[in-house]
Structure 1
Amino acid sequence: MNTESSSMQEFLEQIRRDAPDNLVIHNPDSNILQLYELNAPFMILLETCHEKDNFFSIYQITPGNTYSSQSTYSQYKALSKRPLHQHSCYEIMFVLSGSITNHVENQTFTYGPGQCCVMNKNIKHCEIVAGDFQVVFFMIQDVFLEQLLEEYEEVSEHKTEAPGMNPIFQLYLDSLYKTSRFHKVYLDYLPVIPADSILEQLNPLFNFMLEEIRKNSPGSLFFLKGTFARFLQILDTPSLYCMARVQSDSSSQEYIFSKICHIMEASRGRSSREYLEKQLHYNGEYLNRIVKKYTGKTISEYGQDFCLAEAGRLLTKTDMSVSAIITELGYSNRSYFYRIFQNAFNETPLEYRKKHKDTSVS
């Protein structure tokens, strides 16, 4: 047995020996696939890694049970040699700092601060360890989601305008249908505002959940469910996040293009190649080739389509002035905006408004 394998086995043995039986690893010696079975309705797992300090820690908490462990970075890095695994529950991975790479089925993706991945029970995956990061994992059983969904539906019944189904609830509901219960689906959430602003909202929620689940006092589960529902609501807020639903049989380039589409839609086309490169962790030229393959346009040209579509919507659905719309969409050169708008629609903005104005707008 080589040194890396030995370190990995020692670390796993320590966790199996000392940790509560809330998360049981089936087929621990398999080189093909492992199953992680959650024996609690809800678990929070906080992982912190500092490569330079050769430090790694796990903080695992379920109602009534807390477990923490520290090891060296080299021991934890050996876990990247693990086979892919599945969960008996739904897993939400949220990056608090640094970045982490996730091997999902036959593809590999890197997630940065504020980014989130939600996986159903059929997804095979494994985190690849490198560098410095802090990541929180939420592991959720069906019964916990059922309770949240019941309350969600009760609230929706009393609203004049019912909201659309939260994608995470939809992921759970899909698993109940024969036609989709075996589908391998995950949701990727990318922030459309700076990650620091997202974390300012979410860190207090995460800390509150950790404290309530640790205390496990009367009423703790009630507060936990409410706070977790707030977290799901933030993920489902278009001004904060764009979401891509991915079925794992799609090709890598299809997946990346779908992410680009969602980011462009959320930012109204005002996402540069450099911004996409930072968000998606791929070379800008490679991303440009993907967009060119599916649209025949460059990233800049493709983004401009979204921006002009939004300009058309604002002209026909609102009473905003043309100057206000130009400012709203982030253009500093009025003449340039007029030129590209007329090239796209063969009309000036005012002519377009007069011809297509929604008469129901006061």
Structure 2
Amino acid sequence: MNSNLNELLYRETAVEQAQKNSHQFTMDIPETSLDETRNTLRLTDNYFFANKEIFISKHNRFAPYPLHSHQFLELNYVYSGSCQQTIDGVPTTLQTGDVVLLDVGSKHSIDYLGENDILINILFRTKDIHIDLLNKLKNSQSALFSFLLNISTGDFNHLKSLIFRNTGKTGVSTVIETIMNEYFFPREYSDEIISSYLPILFLTLTRDYKNTLIDAGMDQYSEPVIFQVLNEIDHHYDTVTLDSVAKKLSYNKNYLSNLIKAKTGNTFTELLNKQRLSRAHLLITSTKIPISRIITEVGFSNKNYFYKKYKESYQHLPTIDR
């Protein structure tokens, strides 16, 4: 265990000191990054990913954190002690070394953390789940593969969280703590190393937990062509069409369309729009490129249609993210 990391994590922050004195929750992010329109605290990604691809923080101790959801994926890791959470209505106790992966929209609250309870939050976005990673995981027959693939294809009817219990025989803690050291004590190439370790983390979770995370519904993703379609969308979202994919893969267009719908629960257009909107959202929140230009760059030809789909996806117009 890195002594510098240990010292940093146990050191009380200003927010922790305030919560320790008041025994009440203290908001630790700007109000502009909150969305309370649905009577639930919703954390948006414009604050967390302004200058980085992955955001890591220690969860503040000494007060409960209210029920909330987020626009991004969250991985919680219990560095030490224990943690009581309620995840989508289900009370859950996490112990040292346990990991929970929460999908976009998953609602959870976190109970009071004591002095020795160190919970780490690792935040990342769906765009960080690349098709290449899914291809590596697809033969594992694990629930993690199914979970990540459902996120990638935009299936919002699937399980919203996965819990990985520490068995004492996995390398997950080593991987996570390597990521933490690069993040909290950055050196040259730290950002690149962190990004490279994200798929390593997923692969380690799959390898070490595959026997306890079997998913009976995996057969629906055994069709290799689905990965080829997703790969085309992932890499050529700005120009790809169903016609071009069908031609490239030597499939009848109508047959391929029906197969995509049957295997993913989404039409080709829905999958393509999801990828285009994700890319547009990233550009809108992290660059100064005019929205009109972004619309064209990601492949939309109709401005009104883009605004309609953007609002459906993010519950507000793109101008709010500027």
Superposition TM-score, scaled by structure 1 size: 0.44
- For the pair shown, the structure with the greater C-alpha radius of gyration is 1
- Relative CO higher for 1 or 2, CA cutoff 8 Å, sep ≥ 6? 2
Q: Which has the higher helix share?
A: 2
Q: Which has the higher strand share?
A: 1
